[in-house]
Structure 1
Amino acid sequence: VPEELVDQSRRSWPQRILIGFNLMFVVGLVVASSRLDSFEQAVESIVRIEVPAGVLADLPGSSEAASAAADLDGGDRSDDPETAEVDRFEPHPAGPPRNVLLIGIDSAVGLDPDDPAAQRDRSAAIGLADTIMLVRLDPALARASIMSLPRDLYVTIYRAGLPVRREKLASSVLVGGMELGAPTLVETVTNNFDVPIHNFVVVDFHGFEQLVDELGGVPLWFPYPVRDVGSGLMVAEAGCAMFDGRDSLAFVRSRKMEAFVGGLWHRVGVWNDLERNQRQQDFLIAALQRTIARGARSMIIRDDLIRAATETVVLDDRLTLGTLLHLGRAFSGFEPEHLQRHVLPVTDATVGKSAVLRLDDGARDVFDVFRGVTLRPEKVPVKVVDARGPVDEDVPAPHQLERKGFPVEASEGPPTKRTTIRATIEDYDAAVLLGQYVEPMPHFEFTDSEAVPLRLTLGTDFDLFLLVPRDLEAVDTMARAALPIPDGFEAASPPAPGATARAEDRLPNPVPVRAGEVSPMQLVREIDGRPPDGQRCG
């Protein structure tokens, strides 16, 4: 149930271990070169799972997409001295976006016998995927998105490329066994939801508790005393409480939380896993903030934090030291509250005597975020500047683009040779979508200015708007290469760092947020561990 576990492990982990998810700890390690040797030794000691070929997806732009982008970029235009320089395709040094599956296993190995999480009706070594989170990291844009996958989703489990049986998603790890549990879960997610997984991180109950303890605890705020007899959660007094590893595990595992109000225990929420998923994400953000407060961005990183992370997580065999360093540098300025949170719409169902969940309407739009598809043409207004000079065509080019669904504002400009898409970094996704329809592949330009509309300038090289949009990966690879490169990344080694850090507006918590004092009726909705406005915790 530690869905949050994974998240927290993952983020606290990278922050001190550059695991690839923690966006902050990396900074200190990159800067503190004197510590790099010990860091390398720590990373090399991490347990890794050898993943069968074909299970993990290749990174976008790693080979085929980059070649396709280079081939599509201008053809014979390189002979033109005016455009030869821009035609030299160079991938962005920050690297492509990647999806990481964070897996929390409910194994009780290593827990004290009196730990509530150790009380179970099966062997301590047998574990299910208690928490499953999908994280998308885009280093060139300094974006991070997260979504919880409910463990009770009813899916077809895949192993070794073949469908095995229909079961709850959490059972994938059990079906895969000790060696292939995580790879089996990756295959199942990929085949059921058409989302590529590039890396994974695994943590169990004991590892989660250790990480929190090494942080010195995580502060959480409670407007009332709360309890959950099943998970062992008990907060005797309202206000700010510093949770150690065991308390934190009880909080993120809580399914039946109650609050003591007016002399009685009141049920909090509706007691389902979806609420718990959101609570786990709340905890992740609190843990990240605690990590930063403890100096994760500092040049001096405690050895015990590094050691704790390396001893409590398991990685796939593709996450190299270089990859972790690059990701850490790219997200060095990332703030936890900028994490974009997405909720997967599901509906209750029954299979035999078992209560399960199935995908509901709107699931495609949420998964699209992790496929790199975030917009539709009708949501992307375009200013088209026709700079081709006199042309003879039955349907004006701007009208052709309108037929693709784009809202268009047309104008004319002085003749130019190169077809160009100009946009703000904020409108990067819109620029890529537009580029999928333009033939030949347009030149991309991005600016930090906030007042620049998405603009397509049609040059004399413009041919047509494609009936079927070209491959997203090829266009994204080309557009990404045009993003600004921060100082210090020009000389970076090929695979992945750097980023144009952007301040994303915090997305609203999908669960209603409490503000100030709440009544027992409002309390029934949620307790998220965050203090009310004007209060500090920790």
Structure 2
Amino acid sequence: MSAESTPGPGIPEAPGPRGPRTRGKGRRRKPRARHRGVLIAAWTAAGIVVLGGTGLGYVYFKLNGNIHSVDINQMLGTDRPDKVDNGSQNILVLGSDTRSGSNKKLGGGADDGSARSDTAMIVHVYKGHKKASVVSIPRDTLIDRPACTDTKGHTYPAATGVMFNSAYSTGGAPCAVKTVESLTGVRMDHYLEVDFAGFQKLVDELGGVQVTTTKDITDRDSHLNLKAGTHRLNGEEALGLVRTRHGVGDGSDLGRIQLQQAFIKALVKQVKDIGVFSNPKQLYDLADTSTKAVTTDSALGSVNSLMSFAGSLKGISPAHMTMVTMPVRYDPDNGNRVLVEKTNAQLVWNALKNDQPVPKAATQGTATGEAQGVVAG
């Protein structure tokens, strides 16, 4: 996928350099219905909570009490990449499914209280906060996970050749951040996590999100059936779109990532266009849902902090968001896994460290998932 912002929101106009994806040794793993790629752009969730600045004491404390936060800096200590003081920011954004409560009802499966993260994005906000690059990390990437400690003080040993999303399911937010920093060498300034149930409710309260499909998309597992054309998706349909993995492309997580990136641009556009700030009731409902849906690092763990953060991002439009996927290649031994293309990936990480655009060369010749079919409406 090109590193440049295209007229559409992240779906390429033509197939990638590879032919149809072939299976690795053995058998293709059947996608599980519980797989989901649920993510809202960091600034979308944060931007809606500005109602806290209206001076309404009850509203402020109500919204403030909704927010869950994790002290990432204290838990990770000093063994981290250096913080780059060039005016830019890096935010790790995860989409999570706790497998309990409302999430269980939406996704099915056992109410075991376990947590999973099937979607991860590094949002790099450039100096001046007028542009951003978003780098998706495929959940199926095989990586070396560092030793880490969760929020309850339990320590987990390092592991080799495990799926990227095992970091979150093993040790939660601290382990996810530490794994991303170990993989990239880039310091994460902030952490934002958006849950599955909150995503659906937020889309519904926004009145749906408009997308245009250039071909039919059908996926029984995600209950998605869209004919080619323009649609206003409700929350349930939006979930189906961002979690489908075999309804488009080669059936991999890479194709699903492209749909997620397309939807994020459409969602950001929707938030900017509907004028929620002129409707106090809608604004409060959105703020209440958003603050319940997010978990943040402690630096963003209050309405005031989120207000300030949102204000610094409000100038970024979809046209100034570059969407790329971490450069990977298919694992020759397992067609359901991918491996980091380290040379190409280093071009991405160097660009983020130096607050530079991601070069086109970083994504040339890498696996794409070959998904085509959704653009912003």
Q: What is the TM-score when the length of structure 2 is the normalising length?
A: 0.75
Structure 1 segment 278-317 matched on structure 2, within 5 A:
278-296=258-276, 300=280, 302-317=283-298
Secondary structure of 1:201's partner?
Answer: strand
CA deviations on 1:235-257 (whole Å, 9 max, x unpaired) are 2x443222111111110000111
Secondary structure of 1:206's partner?
Answer: helix
Q: How far has the Cα of 1:12 moved from its partner?
A: 2.5
The one-letter code of the counterpart of 1:228 is: D
Assess if the C-alpha contact under 8 Å between 1:111 and 1:206 holds in 2: yes
Choose 1 or 2 for highest CA Rg: 1
Structure 1 distance, partners of 2:105, 2:68, is: 27
Structure 2 distance, partners of 1:277, 1:288, is: 17
Structure 1 segment 443-522 matched on structure 2, within 5 A:
none
Structure 2 distance, partners of 1:105, 1:112, is: 9
Structure 1 distance, partners of 2:213, 2:87, is: 40
More helix by share: 2
Q: Which residue of 1 aligns with 2:186?
A: 195
Q: Which residue of 1 aligns with 2:10?
A: none
Structure 2 distance, partners of 1:284, 1:370, is: 20
Q: Runs of 5+ in structure 1 lacking a partner?
A: 18-25, 62-94, 258-267, 380-506, 512-523, 532-538
Structure 2 distance, partners of 1:326, 1:307, is: 17
Structure 1 distance, partners of 2:291, 2:315, is: 23
The one-letter code of the counterpart of 2:92 is: L
Assess if the C-alpha contact under 8 Å between 1:252 and 1:276 holds in 2: yes
Q: Which residue of 2 aligns with 1:226?
A: 217
Q: Which residue of 2 aligns with 1:517?
A: none
Q: Which residue of 1 aligns with 2:309?
A: 327
Structure 1 segment 408-447 matched on structure 2, within 5 A:
none
Residue 348 of structure 2 is aligned to residue 358 of structure 1:
no
Q: How far has the Cα of 1:270 moved from its partner?
A: 1.8
Q: How far has the Cα of 1:321 moved from its partner?
A: 4.3
Q: Which residue of 1 aligns with 2:353?
A: 371
Distance 1:110 1:276, change over 3 A: same
Q: How far has the Cα of 1:187 moved from its partner?
A: 0.6
Alignment partner of 1:136 out of 124, 127, 135: 124
Structure 2 distance, partners of 1:124, 1:256, is: 26
Structure 1 segment 98-117 matched on structure 2, within 5 A:
98-111=89-102, 115=106, 117=107
Structure 2 distance, partners of 1:33, 1:163, is: 47
The one-letter code of the counterpart of 1:527 is: G
Structure 1 distance, partners of 2:103, 2:311, is: 37
The one-letter code of the counterpart of 2:166 is: S
Assess if the C-alpha contact under 8 Å between 1:156 and 1:163 holds in 2: no
Residue 372 of structure 2 is aligned to residue 526 of structure 1:
yes
Alignment partner of 1:46 out of 67, 77, 102: 67
Q: How far has the Cα of 1:58 moved from its partner?
A: 7.1
CA deviations on 1:302-339 (whole Å, 9 max, x unpaired) are 21011001111111212154543333333333212211
The one-letter code of the counterpart of 1:47 is: H
Q: Which residue of 2 aligns with 1:347?
A: 329
Distance 1:304 1:322, change over 3 A: closer
Secondary structure of 2:102's partner?
Answer: coil
Q: Which residue of 1 aligns with 2:167?
A: 172
Q: How far has the Cα of 1:295 moved from its partner?
A: 1.3
Q: How far has the Cα of 1:359 moved from its partner?
A: 1.4
The one-letter code of the counterpart of 1:99 is: N
Structure 1 distance, partners of 2:355, 2:219, is: 40
Structure 1 distance, partners of 2:156, 2:335, is: 24
The one-letter code of the counterpart of 2:66 is: S
Distance 1:44 1:372, change over 3 A: farther
Q: Runs of 5+ in structure 2 lacking a partner?
A: 1-34, 150-154, 365-369
Residue 235 of structure 2 is aligned to residue 271 of structure 1:
no
Alignment partner of 2:243 out of 231, 236, 253: 253
Q: How far has the Cα of 1:197 moved from its partner?
A: 1.0
The one-letter code of the counterpart of 2:40 is: D
Structure 1 distance, partners of 2:238, 2:48, is: 20
Residue 129 of structure 2 is aligned to residue 149 of structure 1:
no
Secondary structure of 2:95's partner?
Answer: strand
Residue 45 of structure 2 is aligned to residue 13 of structure 1:
yes
* Mean Cα deviation higher: 98-107 or 313-322: 313-322
Assess if the C-alpha contact under 8 Å between 1:107 and 1:204 holds in 2: yes
State the percentage of identical aligned residues.
24
Distance 1:354 1:272, change over 3 A: closer
Structure 2 distance, partners of 1:375, 1:104, is: 25
Structure 2 distance, partners of 1:299, 1:35, is: 16
The one-letter code of the counterpart of 1:341 is: M
Structure 1 distance, partners of 2:114, 2:205, is: 26
* RMSD of Structure 2 on Structure 1 (CA): 3.2
Larger RCO: Structure 1 or Structure 2 (Cα < 8 Å, ≥ 6 residues apart)?
2
The one-letter code of the counterpart of 2:142 is: Y
Structure 1 segment 88-127 matched on structure 2, within 5 A:
96-111=87-102, 115=106, 117-118=107-108, 120=109, 122-127=110-115
The one-letter code of the counterpart of 2:59 is: S
Q: Which residue of 2 aligns with 1:239?
A: 229
Distance 1:37 1:328, change over 3 A: farther
Structure 2 distance, partners of 1:318, 1:326, is: 11
Number of positions where the alignment pairs a residue of Structure 1 with one of Structure 2 = 323
Distance 1:283 1:49, change over 3 A: same
